Amino acid sequence: MKNLSAAQIALLSALNREQCRLPKRLSMTGGVFAPDAQAAVARAIERVFIRHRTVGGTVALVRGGCLAGVFPYGLARLPDVPAAVDTLYRVASVSKLTLSFGVLKLVEEGTLALDMDIGEVLGYRVRNPAYAHTPITPRQLMTHTAGLMDAPQYDGPGIAGRLALRDMLTGEGAARNFAPTSPGTVFRYSNFGAGILGSLMEKATGEPFDLVMDRALFAPLGMTAGYAPQRLLPHAGRLASGYAVRPLRKPRLVYDAPAIVAQSTPGVDAERHFMASPGRLLITAPDAARLARLLCSDGEIDGVRVLSPASMAQMRQRQASIASVPGDAGRGLNVAFAPRVFGRPNVIGHQGVAYGMNAELWADPDTGDAVVMATSGTALLPVGDLVHCGWQMVCLGFAALGGR
């Protein structure tokens, strides 16, 4: 998602005050919603999903670092597979935030460095032709300041697997993939840049990207999640597909999860695996809520230390005038800022949108509260640079958790 402008923040803040209050404070016992409160929140969540013609989804709420409730709704797959607490959803660009945990783990291990020249890992020189003396770094890729664009070459033959990464960065026509800005100076959202991070991780370790993420993050935390659907074949029955929801028409299948999970499992190919890391994560809402808890933490949750306190602080820190980012990225390391947008002064996280699906992961590091939503398809009506369904649901979620 793009950075929210001051005007968008002001508008969304005002709309939130008008629409997203619950009638009374909801009772909780031991950090979990009491039965009457659970039912009230479930009804409110259902109303939002119905309003946006959502096929199915699951919402998870975290209060003070503890899972307060999980609320499934509708269908994970048409015509008759219900959404559940343990449904695995593709969460689109929430994958980018999750990716940062893995990158920082490799940085701590000494395998990567945030301000190194990416060419040192890829094995060939990578430069914006207009700024030939300025290296491109992982920090720039994690802040969307590297000056890379999602140009037709990336969106077409690149995503289709007909072009290797080297061709897109150094070959004929590569200049069209770069913006006319010096690396590290200007924010420009780029799926291509986030994809290069996955290739760097694969090249640096010699392991498939999805297995690097599993070793660094998912396995230590006991999660069933992954960037390669094929490795989730034993859990195929829990996968949500993706549906385009359009006015006056039935939902249309655009992401067939069971068919994709049956494809061959990817090996190591850093030159063609730059499509996985920007948006292919599949995860349950409760496990995504654990990522939100980790985002608020010092790097340790449930007795498992994933990252150091310093790495977590850096992930949340606004990247401005720091090392290879002399400009102001307006965000952390793949962490977007949404102050007052959801009724809280300090909320961070990421939105995901792909194949009709809308996912949200937003956390309040001051309180440890968080709201996570994943869907199998919903109306993608915009409100600013957010999706209306997701924005309303996150507002509702924070309201249910209390003003704090």
290: left (phi over 0), alpha (psi -120 to 50) or beta: alpha
Determine whether 241 is an active site residue.
Answer: no
pLDDT digits (tens, 9 = 90+) for 110-159: 999 999 999 999 999 999 999 999 999 999 999 999 999 999 999 898 88
3-state DSSP call for residue 242?
strand
Please identify which residue in the block is written with the tokens 């102001």. Answer: 328
CA angle 228–230–231, rounded 5-degree value: 75
Name the stretches of the chain with pLDDT < 70: 17-25, 403-404
What integer pLDDT is reported at residue 375 of this predicted model?
A: 98
What integer pLDDT is reported at residue 7 of this predicted model?
A: 87
* Residue 284 and residue 97 in contact, taking contact as beta carbons nearer than 8 Å: no
Q: In whole numbers, what is the pLDDT of the chain averaged over residues?
A: 94
Q: From start to end of 302-395, where are the E strands?
A: 304-305, 320-322, 325-328, 336-337, 348-354, 357-364, 369-377, 382-383, 386-387
CA 76, distance to chain mean position in Å, is 19
What integer pLDDT is reported at residue 22 of this predicted model?
A: 63
What integer pLDDT is reported at residue 351 of this predicted model?
A: 98
Residue 158 DSSP label:
I
What integer pLDDT is reported at residue 24 of this predicted model?
A: 65
Going by their DSSP bridges, the two strands 56-63 and 66-77 should be labelled as antiparallel
Token pair recorded at residue 322: 């720091």
Exposure on the CB side of residue 160, measured as CA atoms within 13 A: 7
Count of beta carbons in the 10 Å neighbourhood of residue 173: 12
At position 181, the amino acid (one-letter code) is T
Say which of 93, 190, 199, 297 is annotated catalytic: 93
